[in-house]
Chain A
Amino acid sequence: DQQVKQNSPSLSVQEGRISILNCDYTNSMFDYFLWYKKYPAEGPTFLISISSIKDKNEDGRFTVFLNKSAKHLSLHIVPSQPGDSAVYFCAAPRDYGGATNKLIFGTGTLLAVQP
C-alpha cells in the first residue's frame, strides 16, 4: 500500500530553470510532509517541510506547495543548479498524532540539472 507516491522516476532540467517535483498521497490523515534530498553514497538529508495548516512554505530557492483537496504536494526549485542533481523523496509521518512519527517515503525522483 504505497500511501505516498512519486510518479515521475526522473526529471531533467536546464541550469537556471525551474524544477518541479511532484508527490501525491492517499491518506487524508497525513498532516505534515517533508522533502529529503539524497546524493549517491550518502544518507537522505532534510530539505523542507510543510504543515497542513499552510499551503506554501519557502526556504531560499526551495518552495513546497500543498493542495490538500487534491492530496498533492510539489517542490519547486528556482533557479535550479547542477549541485541540485540528486534523488528527491517526499515523506509523511504514518501515524501523525499517534505514538510514532516514523516516516513513509515515496519512491523518489531523480533530478538531473544540466549545465
Chain B
Amino acid sequence: DSGVTQTPKHLITATGQRVTLRCSPRSGDLSVYWYQQSLDQGLQFLIQYYNGEERAKGNILERFSAQQFPDLHSELNLSSLELGDSALYFCASSYRGSGANVLTFGAGSRLTVL
C-alpha cells in the first residue's frame, strides 16, 4: 500500500458520459499529479496541483478538468467521453511541488468507455 488511494479501481461507462476519479494523497503530501496511461503507451502527464493551486498542466484535453480540495484530495473529471479515453489513470503525490522529489503513485483507476 503506497498510501495514495484512488477510487474507483475500475469503471465502465458509455461514450458521451461523464465520470469523476478521486485521489487521496499520502498523508503529509501537498502535491497531487494525474497521469494517463493508454494501451502500449507511457505515462502521460495531465495536471499537477500543489496545496490547492494548479501548478502545471500537460496535454490535458479541454473535456477533462481537475481540482484539489482544502483537505488535499483531488478529483479528475472526464466528460463527453470517447472510446479513446479508455485508459489507466494514475494519481501520484509528493510533499514538494518543485525540485528533486519522488512521486508516490496510487494503484490507478481503469476506465473503459464502450
Interface residues of A, Cβ cutoff 8 Å to B: 31-32, 34, 36, 41-46, 49, 51, 89, 93-108
Contacts and interface: CB of A to CB of B under 8 A. Distances in A.
Contacts of A46: 102-104
A102 B105 contact: no
Contacts, number: 77
Contacts of A95: 56, 98
Given A42-B107, A44-B90, A108-B42, A102 B102 contact: no
Interface residues of B, number: 29
Contact of A99 (B2, B55, B90): B55
5 contacts: A41-B107, A93-B100, A94-B45, A102-B45, A105-B43
Given A43-B4, A43-B108, A95-B56, A101 B100 contact: yes
Contacts of A104: 45
